[in-house]
Structure 1
Amino acid sequence: MLLSARNTIKGKVIEIVPGIVTAKVKLDIGGGNTIVSVITVDSIGELNIKVGDEAYAIFKSTEVMIGI
């Protein structure tokens, strides 16, 4: 995966809370720290994100994206 964003943090998906349009994805990034991102339910399906997966929190401006 190549991105212009330079700020990435690797973590493990520990929780997915789906809503109607968006879902909260919680990553354990170690040291007792977590990051939560809100992404679309469609993105959850397209990326096939599941609890236990390794993923990245990607920071660009004011947004946090999830990548695998």
Structure 2
Amino acid sequence: MGITAINVRNQFKGRIREILRGPVLSEVDVETPSGIVTSVITTRSIDELRLDIGSEVVALVKATEVSLAKL
């Protein structure tokens, strides 16, 4: 089954650059044209999705809050 529609508007297509595996949670760095997007997902999901370095993915970002700091 493929995704035919999704309501998440912030989508960043890229390739996995690094995976830092933990026993339960792992960090996944995705290199996108906009920069690196880091996701924390379960290690089980990494295995089930068969994610590896170089895998092409879409990072879907849905945030309920965005904070700003003046520089």
Q: For structure 1, list consecutive stretches of 5 or more residues without a partner in the other structure.
A: 63-68
- Poorly superposed stretches of 4+, deviation over 3 Å: none
What is the aligned length? 61
- Secondary structure in 1 aligned to 2:14? strand
| Structure 2 residue 19 is the aligned partner of structure 1 residue 16 | yes
**Residues in 2 aligned to 1:43 and 1:52: alpha-carbon distance in whole angstroms:** 17
Unaligned residue ranges in structure 2 (runs of 5+): 65-71
Q: CA RMSD in A?
A: 1.4
State the identity %: 36
Shift of 1:18: 0.4
Matched residue type, 1:39: I
Match of 1:66 in 2: none
2:32 pairs, out of 29, 33, 38, with 29
TM-superposed CA distance for 1:4, in Å, is 2.6
Higher strand share: 1
Q: How high is the TM-score relative to the length of structure 2?
A: 0.76
TM-score, normalization: structure 1? 0.79
Query: What do residues 10-68 of structure 1 show as CA deviations (whole Å, max 9, x unaligned)?
Result: 0110100000100000011026x211110000100111101001111101225xxxxxx
Larger Rg: 2
